[in-house]
């Protein structure tokens, strides 16, 4: 007589999406705390974008800028991962594109159980179009944990 089939933990893997904002540290902390509780494997991702307030014709890319930026992000990720030696990290990902679409696509490709990302107060056009976090929440086919910015006192 055998017991019930072994079930996969609810959060066996997670994607933590980090940007270059000051709240990224809080997102990392929340994600790694959840990983410690669940034993989840963690994938870190940063989506690099071109500035939207500069006309495309004005954009020039100095030699090696993309490679240097990617190297800097990978170094930042390594420093973060070193602060959580008890968390099982996969190789971090640095990609280009539309952040909300890339986060969703990578979540699907890696078949993670949950996406962890930050949110911030919206203003201006973001109230109309939606933030990256709201778009991920509305379009992802998996759970999303949104780490909110603490209220201002």
At 41-66, the pLDDT tens digits run 999 999 998 655 455 554 555 555 67
pLDDT at 119: 85
Examine residue 71 and state whether it is found in any structural domain, yes or no: yes
User: Structure pTM?
Assistant: 0.82
Query: What does the pLDDT average to over 76-85?
Result: 97
Examine residue 153 and state whether it is found in any structural domain, yes or no: no
Contacts of 26 by beta carbon, 8 Å cutoff, 6+ apart: 118, 147, 149, 150
Examine residue 40 and state whether it is found in any structural domain, yes or no: yes
Examine residue 90 and state whether it is found in any structural domain, yes or no: yes
Is the pLDDT at 91 greater than 60, yes or no? yes
Examine residue 127 and state whether it is found in any structural domain, yes or no: yes
pLDDT, tens only, 1-33: 555 555 666 789 999 999 988 889 999 999 999
Query: What does the pLDDT average to over 110-117?
Result: 97
Examine residue 7 and state whether it is found in any structural domain, yes or no: no
Provide the domain count of the chain.
Answer: 1
- Spatial CA neighbour of 119 closest among 100, 143, 93, 98: 100
CATH number, domain at 100?
3.40.50.620
Strands (DSSP E) contained in 11-151 are 13-17, 41-48, 93-96, 114-118, 143-147
Examine residue 54 and state whether it is found in any structural domain, yes or no: no
User: Quick check: 33 and 4 in contact, CB under 8 A?
Assistant: no
Alpha carbons 40 and 38: distance in angstroms, whole number: 5
Confidence of residue 131 (pLDDT cuts 50, 70, 90): confident
Examine residue 41 and state whether it is found in any structural domain, yes or no: yes
Q: Which range marks the domain in which residue 110 is found?
A: 14-49+63-147
């Amino acid at each position: 007589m055998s017991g019930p089939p072994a079930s996969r933990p609810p959060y066996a893997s997670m994607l933590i999406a980090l940007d270059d904002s000051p709240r990224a540290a809080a997102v990392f902390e929340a994600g790694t705390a959840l990983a410690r509780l669940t034993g989840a494997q963690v994938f870190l991702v940063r989506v690099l974008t071109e500035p939207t307030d500069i006309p495309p014709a004005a954009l020039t890319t100095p030699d090696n800028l993309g490679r240097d930026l990617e190297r800097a992000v990978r170094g930042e990720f390594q420093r973060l991962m070193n602060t959580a030696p008890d968390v099982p990290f996969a190789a971090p990902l640095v990609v280009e594109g539309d952040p909300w679409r890339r986060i969703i696509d990578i979540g699907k490709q890696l078949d993670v159980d949950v996406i962890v990302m930050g949110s911030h107060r919206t203003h201006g056009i973001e109230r109309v179009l939606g933030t990256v976090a709201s778009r991920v929440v509305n379009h992802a086919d998996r759970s999303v944990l949104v780490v909110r910015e603490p209220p201002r006192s």
